[in-house]
Amino acid sequence: MKLIAVTDDRLSIHKLAETLLAIEPYIDAVILREKSKTDREVFELIHKLKLDGFDKTKIIVHGRADLASLTNIHKVQLPGHGLPLPLLKEHFPSLSFGKSVHSYEEAKTAMSEGADWVLYGHLYETGSKALLPPRGTDELNKIISALAIPVYAIGGIKPSHIENLAVDGVAVMSSIFGSDSAITAAKSYYDAMNTKRGNLL
């Protein structure tokens, strides 16, 4: 099971880079979801991360295939309302694409259009989706059974949930970047995943 950190667009470039470098040992990937930052700022963030030694294979650019291509990053996470996936795959054949989905049908469509993975949510109650009811795990488990590509989950997931989730990985935003200590928070998920792996042996 993989741990994907999702940035929350609240930190400066330098503070965010510092935080990501600190939690890198505990995460498998990070989705740079910095909606309010300019393209130049995200470009500079990626450049700084690479310059400071962050493993660029862990970086996933949110929404912008062109920006990923320009910075030699090979993974893009597309929002549900993003550009058509087949068109992007045609124009950026060297990139891998994940798609955010909110239903079984959306997940099936994403796979048929060539998505390399899907991100399903939101699973549990979360402050960032306070007005929307959580989707729970029933449909998630249906998606896992039907898809031949990795399925990741997002939304209100706590370390205590890890043991009972059969996904390929979880994506976490507020619990890491909204905590007093991003390192402690990331390590708590890392430890829960290691415990789950140990229980499966």
Let me know the angle formed at the C-alpha of 120 by 118 and 122, rounded to the nearest 5 degrees.
160
Q: Which of 62, 102, 122, 161 is catalytic?
A: 122
Kind plus residue range of the DSSP H or E element containing 130 = none
Residue 178: CB atoms within 10 Å = 13
User: Do 90 and 78 contact (CB within 8 A), yes or no?
Assistant: no
Kind plus residue range of the DSSP H or E element containing 67 = helix 65-70
Residue 122 annotated in active site: yes
**150: alpha, beta or left, given left = phi > 0 and alpha = psi -120 to 50?**
beta
Q: How far apart are the C-alpha atoms of 169 and 188, rounded to whole Å?
A: 15
Q: Give the distance from CA 57 to its chain's centroid.
A: 13
- Active site amino acids: 122
